Structure 1
Amino acid sequence: MKWVWMLLALTAGMAVSVQAGVNGGLGKRIGVLEGAFVSFLIGTIVLFLVQLFFGKGELLAMFSTPKWQLTGGILGAFYVFVMVLIVPKVGVANSLAAVIAGQLVMSSIIDHFGLFGGQRIPFDMTRLAAIACLFLALWLFFRK
């Protein structure tokens, strides 16, 4: 069953690549901030409709959650804004190579300390080697 979740994550990664290209083009056409706003607006409308029909009905519970758990939207908006800004300048592959490097560095820190209530997975030499390879890949993507 674990492979199904990994396949779903792989598919989500592919969707992020398409999203970056689409949003980059949108930003060039209507403006960077406007492109990020429109992307989030459409996503918000779609999620609103989906949660109406398939949600658990616990939307108002957001008012009783710790406030730091509500920062995901801010972080998502920052990500979309940055992608709308940089994709037209450096391309989708270069942008996502940098994003993936940043994600794996930060996620390794989060895992190592078990932050946000997650499972604690110690940082080891294997993960260090993987991150070093990732930064080598990042360098290879960015070099001319």
Structure 2
Amino acid sequence: MYLKYILTGIALIIGGLLAVQGSINSQLGGILKNPLQAAFVSFLIGTLTLFVLNVLMRAEIPTKEIVSAMPLYLFIGGIIGAVYVSSAIILIPKIGVATMLGASIGGQMIVASIIDHYGFFNINVHAISPGRIIGIILLIIGVFLIQRF
């Protein structure tokens, strides 16, 4: 029971790292004068980090059979990540970190609730409840308040 709270706390900390990442990548984009190059550098460093972690943890390389049997939609996660990071680099200087992340989280909550409700991508179903809908609405109101003040 407490594990869920601990994991939620870890997710909260990771969410805080997104604000740091966005700020750093935005500064990198300003120095390089190109948001796509900044995103490329960010992903290159991330790829190298993941490579080292895979080597250190002795992760097995998936077989050709496993990779070829995977649904094609599983390969778009990297594309979505590239679009997100590039967009954050462009938007943060214009609207600020808090507004960018708040709006981003609002969008995530809307889409996540739809995914949960219908069980898309083989996710366990978690029905949309009135409480969740109210929470999303309050979150979106919060984004507008952050932007306004």
TM category (shorter chain) comes to: over 0.9
Unaligned runs of 5+ in 1: none
Q: TM-score, normalised by structure 2?
A: 0.91
Q: TM-score, normalised by structure 1?
A: 0.94
RMSD over aligned CA atoms reads 1.3
| Distance across 1 between alignment mates of 2:75 and 2:110 | 22
Identical positions, percent:
35
Counterpart of 1:45, as a letter, is L
Q: 2:76 aligns with which of 47, 54, 71?
A: 71
AA partner of residue 121 (structure 1): H
1:42 to 45, 67, 89: 45
> Which AA in structure 2 matches 1:114?
G
Residue 72 (structure 1) shift:
0.5
CA contact (8 A) 1:28 1:88 kept: no
Shift of 1:2: 1.6
- Give yes or no for the alignment of 1:138 onto 2:143: yes
Please tell me the residue identity of whatever aligns with 2:147: F
Counting only pairs closer than 5 Å after superposition, residues 51-90 of structure 1 correspond to structure 2 as 51-60=54-63, 61-90=66-95
Within 5 A, what are the aligned runs for 1:1-144? 1-30=3-32, 31-60=34-63, 61-144=66-149
The residue type paired with residue 66 of structure 1 is: P
